């Protein structure tokens, strides 16, 4: 009879992650360890008994199982606390306007001829000497093109006045915004951001954190995609 406890038991404990096991399964594994160890001691060869090193090794294996269970419980508790914190943070955003990656603009006309546009933003990896904003229609026609000037690295928000390059009011509807940023005469990458309103929150599932519902147009995004709260 072998004097080595089957290491597959330890492997079984690690398979599937904390969500796929419960305390009763871990307790069963520990009991199996102890039962096997006792059986080995009872049936050992009296002329060739287990030495202290073997005994210590197998007891250490039992402690390893307990340690893994305790670690899994701790990690599960930390994950639950993080998810609860994310949910609390996410629910506080319901009804708030946010900037997320995208290039859409909406323009509406008021009853007295006022022009209302949704904000837009940009994210720069480095400061730009000049940033140019290009507004285009859904078909790609340039409606307006104007310079903002120098912009620091990071996230900044802006608004379009809703007028064409000739100063006339643009037709109400959906538009696109494109950013052209330069530094020392060279183009630099710039991420365009569009405005959306958080309408709801989806609780975290087994695959990750909470998701924010931005409506049918923008769909759902993670908290990490919220670049600015307006």
The string of pLDDT tens digits covering residues 33-55 is: 667 667 766 666 555 555 556 65
Whole-Å CA distances, 195 to 62, 130, 133, 178, 189: 56, 22, 16, 14, 20
* Sites in the chain below the pLDDT cut of 50: 1-21
Instruction: For residue 143, give both structure tokens.
Output: 């409606």
Report the pLDDT value the prediction gives residue 88, as an integer from 0 to 100. Answer: 75
The string of pLDDT tens digits covering residues 58-89 is: 666 666 666 666 767 766 666 666 666 677 77
The residue ranges of every structural domain in the chain are 8-83, 99-195
Tell me the CATH architecture of domain 99-195: Sandwich (2.60)
Q: Is 2 helix (H, G, I), strand (E, B) or coil?
A: coil
């Amino acid at each position: 009879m072998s004097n080595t406890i089957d290491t597959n038991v330890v492997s079984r404990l690690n398979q599937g992650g904390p969500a796929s096991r419960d305390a009763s399964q871990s307790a069963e594994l520990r009991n199996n360890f102890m039962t096997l160890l006792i059986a080995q001691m009872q049936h050992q060869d009296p002329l060739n008994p287990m030495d202290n090193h073997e005994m210590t090794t197998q007891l250490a294996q039992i402690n390893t199982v307990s340690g893994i269970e305790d670690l899994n419980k701790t990690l599960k508790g930390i994950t639950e606390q993080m998810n609860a914190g994310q949910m609390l943070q996410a629910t506080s955003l319901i009804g708030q306007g946010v900037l997320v990656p995208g290039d859409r603009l909406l323009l509406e006309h008021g009853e007295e001829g006022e022009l209302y546009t949704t904000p837009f933003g940009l994210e720069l990896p480095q400061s730009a000497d000049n940033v140019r904003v290009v507004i285009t229609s859904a078909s790609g026609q340039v409606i307006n093109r104007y310079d903002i000037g120098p912009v620091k690295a990071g996230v900044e928000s802006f608004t379009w006045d809703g007028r064409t390059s000739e100063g006339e009011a643009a037709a109400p509807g959906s538009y696109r915004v494109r950013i052209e940023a330069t530094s020392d005469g060279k183009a630099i990458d710039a991420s365009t951001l569009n405005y959306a309103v958080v309408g709801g929150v989806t609780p975290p599932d087994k695959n990750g954190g909470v998701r924010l519902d931005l409506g049918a147009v923008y769909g759902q995004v993670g908290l990490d995609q919220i670049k600015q709260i307006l």
